[in-house]
Structure 1
Amino acid sequence: MANEAVKVAEAELTQKKDEDYILSVDDLEKAASKKMSKLTREYYNSGATYQQTYFANPRAFEKYLLRPRVLSNVAACDPSTVIFGRRIPFPLCVSPTALHGMAHPDGEKATARGCAAANVNMGISTYSSFVWEEIIPHAKGKIDFFAQMYIYPDKTVTKNMVLKAEKLGFKAILLTADAPILGTRWNETRNQMAAHITKQNPFPNITDAVSNSLTNLEDMATLFQDASQSWERDIPYLRSITKMKIFVKGVLTAEDTLKAIECGVDGIVVSNHGGRQLDGVPATIDALPECVEAAKGRIPIFIDGGFRRGSDIFKAIALGADCVFVGRPALWGLAYNGAAGVEMMLRMLHDEFKKTMQLMGCNSVKEISRKHLAVLNSRGFMERLETAKL
């Protein structure tokens, strides 16, 4: 009988699908990485120069400990929140990241389908593999989109991109402000990424905006690298040509948070570009508290960078973020199984976040606060975050 039971168990195991063993974003990363080419894997899964910031982003969450409340009756726990007037299942959106077509033939079109299936809003990069017009219909009106863009030296390009985004119904501009020049990414140089991208006739949104084709990355670089960009010049200009909300992406300090408020932006995204621009800057979860303190609730604060677990999302909300964005996890889901893989990733994070809320004794996102977190002080003893000096 024992041998027979073993045989039955083994038979059941052989019938399980690969996704039955993907229980976390970490599992998904491993499974997706096996399906990617070396070029794609190292393009997605790496950062600038020594990659200190790239690795710091996910590790930094470990220093924040959870302080749960018990016997709190969490049967009616609701992890949903409202972003731009639309209720979403939990405080998470998908970040704009470039070149989804390297992960899956349908690229951002599949990502949009996965986001729509999970009712999660999506940012789309200027450097998407498909033009925005081709991507948006795949969501069938179920979600909101955000347009990531840069300040371009040629104002005609900037205006064309902004007007296009507004016409297509994007809810906000996510203005990437931490790339006046391109960061140094050694893996891309070693893998001759520039030559690969050039062969693919990349960046159709930019080609559309400048009304000609790009033949090499040098041409592309001159279009989006504007070292003269500034708060005083560029925010008023954007405000003069659009009614969309303007969020500045790439803020890491209280000083820039205050500058954003002074210039009248609608919000900020605490971001270090996934560790792909300036290596050695802090993990975003560590930069978040000073930005929240400076803002004092005057503008919404979003954050991205290294989020892999539902508890990571909980910690960001406890520290004052209004919403979290994930980039690489969406790419891993896409590479693993297209739209279904993206949806699977989002549902995993949703379930993890809700369970964290319930185990922490929270019934709504509004109940989450710094009182739910602790850190270890200089003597190695736990100290409540609301009284600790960070």
Structure 2
Amino acid sequence: MTDQPALLETYRILAAERLAAGPLAFLNGGSGACVTQRANQTDFDDIAILPRVLRDLRGGGTAVRMLAQTLDAPILVAPVAYQTLFAPQGEPATAIAAAAQGVGMVLSCQSATPMAVVQQAGEGNLAWFQLYWQGAGRGATMDLAQAAADAGFGALVLTVDAPVNGVRDAEVASGFRLPPGVGAVNLANVPQPKFAPLETGESLLFDRVASCLPTWEDVAWLCDNAPLPVVIKGVLSPADASLAVAAGAAALVVSNHGGRVLDGVPAAITALPAIADKVQGAIPVLMDSGIRRGSDIFKALALGASAVLVGRPVMWGLAVNGAQGASHVLRMLRDELEVTMMLAGCRTIADISRDCVHLNR
């Protein structure tokens, strides 16, 4: 394919046409009645941009510093599992796309490609590794963290908002199952907890799974001992943001997992301002869930985000045209951000502040 779609929305439509029902449900579906998934996008509509005019915009740009590295734009590819479901090249193609655009990438803990292969494909771009707390405990979690460090990743993104999967109706309806040959290859040698058969009256979730879940004490231990900076992803409460700072997190991500876990929680963009106010610049605050336009990125930055993570749109590009499609999606988002900045009178990312937006709600 040589002709690229002109609009991000066209990528979404074409990806829906090309993907089988199961992978499409896995990618695009939300949890429950998808109330939160819809709000992730519609809540952006309640934010108006207040432009300033007649400003000197010469020499501006979108570059930012993020955990001691420079990004050409305040964008990272969000962690998305099993990317070979969407294109044969999978995660390495996404890493190539991110590197081509000078933005970051967070590799899913459930990548279908070995982490070292993905890191090599990214040619040294800012690559972070998503880490889930391993059920076998601190040792297994630290071993995985060390493997990521040895592979050349720059940070660990500990995802804390999905101790179990949400109720995903679209996946259930489609009968989605991972096809043969697709799996979480980086977890193949990670020990898993072993349980005896359930006894009468025991709950699989509350008596077995809950016994393997981390606490803030475990997070603090990880931050103190991990070989890489730890970013906490999945925060919606200002109180939890304070605990993340106290635990030693290098950054946090305001996120509801793209509306894929607990339905009925606030949109990430709605939760962002209170968390940014609570953190008061102690650590960078990032945001994901619902970014579809460069103007969305602008609004998130104005409300306190240092950068955003983008998942589904990049996968639409990947599904349509591999690394080139994913790269084009990222470029469109950056171009739209630049246009928004120019029209709003902001020369640099640092010029984007709370004064640049008005909340209509």
The TM-score, its normalising length taken from structure 2, stands at 0.91
1:144 partner amino acid: L
Q: Match of 1:208, SS? A: coil
5+ residue gaps, structure 1, are 1-15, 212-220, 378-390
Q: Is the 8 A contact 1:81 1:87 kept in 2?
A: yes
Offset at 1:228? 4.9
Aligned to 2:134: 152
Pair 1:260 & 2:244 matched: yes
Q: Is the 8 A contact 1:66 1:373 kept in 2?
A: yes
Aligned to 1:215: none
Q: Is the 8 A contact 1:152 1:225 kept in 2?
A: no
Q: Is the 8 A contact 2:146 2:227 kept in 1?
A: no
Alpha-carbon distance in 2 for matches of 1:110, 1:57: 27
The TM-score, its normalising length taken from structure 1, stands at 0.85
Offset at 1:367? 0.7
CA-based RMSD of the aligned residues comes to: 2.1
* Number of residue pairs matched by the alignment: 348
Q: Is the 8 A contact 1:57 1:284 kept in 2?
A: yes
Provide closer, same or farther for how the CA distance between residues 120 and 287 of structure 1 changes in structure 2, counting only shifts above 3 A. same
Aligned to 1:203: 184
Q: Is the 8 A contact 2:96 2:323 kept in 1?
A: yes
Q: Could you say which structure has the larger radius of gyration?
A: 1
Q: Is the 8 A contact 1:174 1:249 kept in 2?
A: yes
Q: Is the 8 A contact 1:153 1:226 kept in 2?
A: no
Aligned to 2:200: none
Aligned to 1:126: 109
Aligned to 2:8: 25
Alpha-carbon distance in 1 for matches of 2:182, 2:321: 25
Q: Is the 8 A contact 2:80 2:107 kept in 1?
A: yes
Offset at 1:303? 0.5
Offset at 1:186? 1.7
Pair 1:350 & 2:334 matched: yes
Alpha-carbon distance in 1 for matches of 2:79, 2:278: 26
1:171 partner amino acid: G
Q: Is the 8 A contact 1:284 1:303 kept in 2?
A: yes
Offset at 1:79? 1.4
Alpha-carbon distance in 1 for matches of 2:294, 2:211: 37
After superposition, what is the alpha-carbon deviation per residue over 1:275-324, rounded to whole angstroms, capped at 9, x for unaligned? 01000001100000110111011111011001010000000100011110
Q: Is the 8 A contact 1:252 1:288 kept in 2?
A: yes
Q: Is the 8 A contact 1:77 1:357 kept in 2?
A: no
Alpha-carbon distance in 2 for matches of 1:120, 1:259: 28
Q: Match of 1:202, SS? A: coil
Provide closer, same or farther for how the CA distance between residues 245 and 44 of structure 1 changes in structure 2, counting only shifts above 3 A. same
Identity, % of aligned positions:
34
Offset at 1:198? 6.2
1:115 partner amino acid: A
Alpha-carbon distance in 2 for matches of 1:266, 1:317: 18
Aligned to 1:65: 48
Aligned to 2:228: 244
After superposition, what is the alpha-carbon deviation per residue over 1:87-136, rounded to whole angstroms, capped at 9, x for unaligned? 21111111111010000011001111111111111000111111102211
Alpha-carbon distance in 1 for matches of 2:211, 2:42: 32
Offset at 1:169? 1.8
Q: Match of 2:76, SS? A: strand
Provide closer, same or farther for how the CA distance between residues 23 and 201 of structure 1 changes in structure 2, counting only shifts above 3 A. closer
Alpha-carbon distance in 2 for matches of 1:302, 1:144: 15
Q: Is the 8 A contact 1:181 1:227 kept in 2?
A: no
Q: Which moved more, 1:175-184 or 1:95-104?
A: 175-184
Offset at 1:144? 1.4
Aligned to 2:253: 269
Alpha-carbon distance in 2 for matches of 1:374, 1:82: 26
Aligned to 2:198: none
2:221 partner amino acid: Y
1:126 partner amino acid: C
